[in-house]
Amino acid sequence: MTDSQDRNFKIGNPILEVNNISLSFGGVNAITDTSFNVLEHEVRAIIGPNGAGKSSMLNCINGIYKPQQGSIAFKGNKLSKITPNLIAQMGISRTFQNLALFKRMSAIDNILVGRKLHSKASFFDVAFQLPKARREEKINLKKCEEIVEFLEIEKIKDTPVGKLPYGLQKRVELGRALATEASLLLLDEPMAGMNVEEKREMCRFILEVNEEYGTTMVLIEHDMGVVMDISDRVVVLDYGKIIGDGPPDEVRTNQKVIDAYLGVSHGE
Amino acid sequence: MATTISTYSRNDYINFSVLMVLGFLIIPMTVNSDYWFTSILIPWLCLALATIGQQVIMGYTGQLALGAAGFMAAGAFACFNLILRVDGLPFFGALIISGLIAAAIGIVFGLPSLRIRGIYLMVATLASQFFIIWVIDKFGWFKNYDSSGIITAQDIVIFGRPYTSPVDMYLVILVVVTVMTILAINMARGSTGRNWMAVRDMDVAAESMGVSLLKTKIQAFAISSFFCGVAGALFAFTYLKSLEPVAFDIKLSFKILFMCILGGLGTINGAFIGAGFILLFPVLLNYLGNNVFHGAIDATIISALEQVVFGVLMIVFMIYEPLGMARLWENLKQRFFKKKDK
């Protein structure tokens, strides 16, 4: 699956570079001096035991947390002192670990919010339904209908997402991230709490997006089988430090990684 | 469903046409008592418009703001001064500028929403209520140095023709309310409304999708205040026919808040339903007291009863149907039409 030869989008240069990031909350170090990179068009997994700092890492990239030290560069531009919405404008989108959908809005409306960065009409255009707003709405709706079709959620597109089962909510959230047409997607446990069948479908969607649009993916996942199957390279975090980085096969045989997962004591 | 790209369905157009015929033709032709216009239809439309303003900020954007009456006062006094001091300014022009002035004040008082939320924001926005009234009271210029404290509002003159009879004023208001309601619905259903609701439902996610919290909240405050400002100007010029800051006290703000909640948060038709209910319910109680119980129940008890019923209804709706009466209406309609299909 990781044959780089027959992919539409060949894995290229680093698109995201994380350099010596440190993040702490009070006295607790969530991330300590961590560096890794993500190459263009690859599927990069971040794994690690609970509390290893995986979600904190995504939140740093996304601008929700500000690391105390180190820098993050996206497409060669340093990301510092910026807010999530500026990061979004640069072309990074994400999903959340504990679902952050707009609960009272329908599935299609949720996905339409993802088109925000492609909407230039002001409230004035919208209020008076000027041609600009109408044209834009038409295009956005068409794009979102395509995403709905791709994710196979046509039947529930008009249902308020708060009423949907968990698996479908995860799918809507992926749809919303896709609607942004970001070049880098951060997926925080896209398959958590799903059954095998749902996981398989989610994997298919992720790989298909990567294949078809060349979207670079960074995903956090607990299911080792899934990680080994779909990712090109894996970063392993433990206690906020990187203990392994490389292709799945290499990481799997890394002694430190095995220790972390099997719970060997963390003495020297 | 998949092919309808327009914001409106056929049903919407039918409803709209029915309402327009009812509002512009049937009511003016059939209702011939001034009481209905001056005491029910005119205040209903004005307050419904203010409630739409409250809906924008509270129902759609999820910012607990209290102080709609303050912005109504700002709009009313702005309109009074504009007509007084600017020669040849048409009424509708004055109305729009009044709204814009209220919007500008709304932006200033909306700024705290970037830092605080929930009940604390409510306290902060409450400041606007008292501040605006205080400024109007304090500086005589706003009241044209009138010593009596109550100023008579000027007549509404449009293209040289005065609109002073109840029916005329009703029609003027109806035009304004219709246009502004359409604008509100357009925004609520379009990308503007989606951004508001995204901020309401999950602000972190909204921000990650590129929705600027600053811009969206401030925009919502401005639009909300615009609606309140215009509503206030209409309220003063047609219903009160006078301008006094006391009329726009905190009680009116609460009334609008209740209209918003009872009608259904995040609905435009709920604004009309809620305003209608809160306005008509006391009338109904009085009628019952006089005509069914023949004055057997004391008037003070009736007005106390009114408060009790509102209080209970608020609690019941908050718990069982946060989407308010608009939702009950939808459910009823659905049931009705489904039966019809079979």
Binned at pLDDT 50, 70 and 90, residue B12 comes out as: confident
Q: Residues of B with CB below 8 A from A121's CB?
A: 190-191
A79 in B contact zone (CB under 8 Å): no
pTM, full prediction: 0.91
pLDDT > 80? residue B299: no
Q: CA angle, A221 as apex, A217 and A223 as ends, to 5°?
A: 130
Binned at pLDDT 50, 70 and 90, residue B311 comes out as: confident
Per-residue pLDDT, A265: 60
CATH class of domain segment(s) A1-91+183-268? alpha beta
In tens, the pLDDT along B13-50 reads: 888 888 888 888 888 888 888 888 988 999 999 999 99
Closest B-chain CA to A118: B210
Domain segments of chain A as ranges = 1-91+183-268, 100-181
Q: Residues of A with CB below 8 A from B212's CB?
A: 85
Considering chain B, what is the average pLDDT of its residues?
A: 89
A122 C-beta neighbours (distance < 10 Å), count: 14
**ipTM attached to this prediction:** 0.90
Per-residue pLDDT, A266: 54
Q: CA angle, A143 as apex, A115 and B215 as ends, to 5°?
A: 10
Q: What is chain A's pLDDT, residue by residue, as a tens digit (268 residues)?
A: 445 456 788 888 999 999 999 999 988 889 999 999 999 999 999 998 888 889 999 999 999 999 999 999 999 888 767 789 889 999 999 999 888 999 999 999 999 999 999 999 999 999 999 999 999 999 999 999 999 999 999 999 999 999 999 999 999 999 999 999 999 999 999 988 888 999 999 999 999 999 988 999 999 988 888 888 899 999 999 988 999 999 998 988 888 888 887 766 655 4
- Tell me the C-alpha to C-alpha distance, in Å, between residue A99 and each of A60, A103, A171, A215, B144: 18, 10, 10, 21, 56
Q: Is B32 helix (H, G, I), strand (E, B) or coil?
A: coil
Per-residue pLDDT, B1: 33
* Of A64-68, A260-264, B162-166, B226-230, minimum mean pLDDT range: A260-264
Per-residue pLDDT, B101: 97
Looking at 3.40.50.1820, 3.40.50.300, 3.30.230.10, 3.30.70.1560, the CATH number of the domain A100-181 comes to: 3.40.50.300
Q: Is A173 left (phi over 0), alpha (psi -120 to 50) or beta?
A: alpha
CA distance A97 to chain B (A): 11
CA distance A240 to chain B (A): 24
Count Cβ–Cβ pairs < 8 Å, chain A vs chain B.
Answer: 108
Q: Which A residues 175-204 touch B at CB under 8 Å?
A: 176, 180
Binned at pLDDT 50, 70 and 90, residue B81 comes out as: very high
A212 in B contact zone (CB under 8 Å): no
Separation between Cα atoms, residue B325 and residue A137, nearest integer Å:
30
Closest A-chain CA to B190: A126
The reply to whether residue B202 touches residue A127, judged by beta carbons under 8 angstroms, is: no
Per-residue pLDDT, A2: 47
CA distance B14 to chain A (A): 19
Per-residue pLDDT, A136: 94
Q: Which of B186, B190, B207 minimises the CB distance to A85?
A: B207
The reply to whether residue A114 touches residue B205, judged by beta carbons under 8 angstroms, is: no
Domain segments of chain B as ranges = 10-249
Q: How many residues does this entry show for chain B?
A: 342
